[in-house]
A = this chain, B = another copy of it.
Amino acid sequence: MAGSGLSRELVLRAAVGVADEGGVGALTMRGLAESLGVEAMSLYHHVANKEAVLDGLVEVVMAEIEAAVAGLDGSGGWKAAMRRRVLAAREVLLRHPWAPGVFETRTGTSLAVAKYYDGVLALMREGGFDYELGHRALHALGSRALGFSQELFAPDGVEVPEDAVAAMAEHVPHLVAMIADASHGGAVLGWCDSQAEFEFGLDLILDGLERLRAAS
């Protein structure tokens, strides 16, 4: 009777909301249910278990990425098109900072992710890659094709307290000198413009691949 109207979609949408707000650590079946105004056990009528919720999270994010990628300009050669695609995917992931961590535990089983990489491979095929180089290119890009890479320090722009840096200083003289040298730097390890760094690494790989393609 005009009841709750719970559904798999509603559950997953709520799960994304919970994760966006508090990270995957905050995502519990009980908490998720509460955010839907329902009892925890009701969720099990729409998803098999928590693993299925996490699988669903990947699906939702991949759908957002596919939507962002769908309307993209394909001109300017494979490299330019790939660059646009990756940076569009990255923008989606930046809205869901918990997503990379979830992806890492499930790539390999997700059809949505496989489809995305299929599109990436198609783009390279059109650009003149044979399957062997395309295959290696996929591995060389790795998660960068989806717009993320492991950060070394202070992953999510976390500020490292000044005294922790001081305590480290004598053990990592080169890192300290590097920070001091950085024109854009304060004395924190979280100073990096990670977008610029991401693009640098991406271009390094794309340029390398283009060189190999041209030589093949």
**Stretch of A5-13, A69-77, A100-108 contacting B (4+ beta carbons < 8 Å):** A100-108
Beta-carbon contacts of A135-169 to B below 8 Å, as 1s and 0s? 11011101100000111111100101000000010
What residues of chain B lie closer than 8 Å to A209, measured between beta carbons? 204
> Are A150 and B151 in contact, with the CB atoms below 8 A?
no
> Are A182 and B131 in contact, with the CB atoms below 8 A?
yes
* Interface check A205, CB cutoff 8 A: yes
> Are B135 and A182 in contact, with the CB atoms below 8 A?
yes
> Are B152 and A150 in contact, with the CB atoms below 8 A?
no
What residues of chain B lie closer than 8 Å to A1, measured between beta carbons? none
A181 in contact with B117 given A111-B168, A125-B174 (CB within 8 Å): no
* Interface check A134, CB cutoff 8 A: yes
CB distance from A130 to the nearest CB of B (A): 8
Copies in the complex: 2
> Are A139 and B104 in contact, with the CB atoms below 8 A?
no
> Are A142 and B153 in contact, with the CB atoms below 8 A?
no
> Are B150 and A114 in contact, with the CB atoms below 8 A?
no
Kindly state the separation between the CA atoms of A152 and B108 in the bound complex, as whole angstroms: 6
Chain A interface residue count, Cβ-Cβ cutoff 8 angstroms: 58
CB distance from A132 to the nearest CB of B (A): 7
* Interface check A208, CB cutoff 8 A: yes
> Are A201 and B142 in contact, with the CB atoms below 8 A?
yes
A172 in contact with B142 given A108-B189, A189-B108 (CB within 8 Å): no
Kindly state the separation between the CA atoms of A174 and B130 in the bound complex, as whole angstroms: 11
> Are A174 and B208 in contact, with the CB atoms below 8 A?
no
* Interface check A115, CB cutoff 8 A: yes
What residues of chain B lie closer than 8 Å to A134, measured between beta carbons? 174, 178
- Nearest to A160 among chain B residues (CB) is B108
Kindly state the separation between the CA atoms of A7 and B138 in the bound complex, as whole angstroms: 45
15 CB contacts below 8 A, A to B, read A107-B155, A108-B154, A109-B160, A111-B171, A111-B172, A114-B168, A117-B172, A118-B171, A131-B182, A135-B178, A139-B192, A139-B201, A140-B204, A142-B151, A143-B150
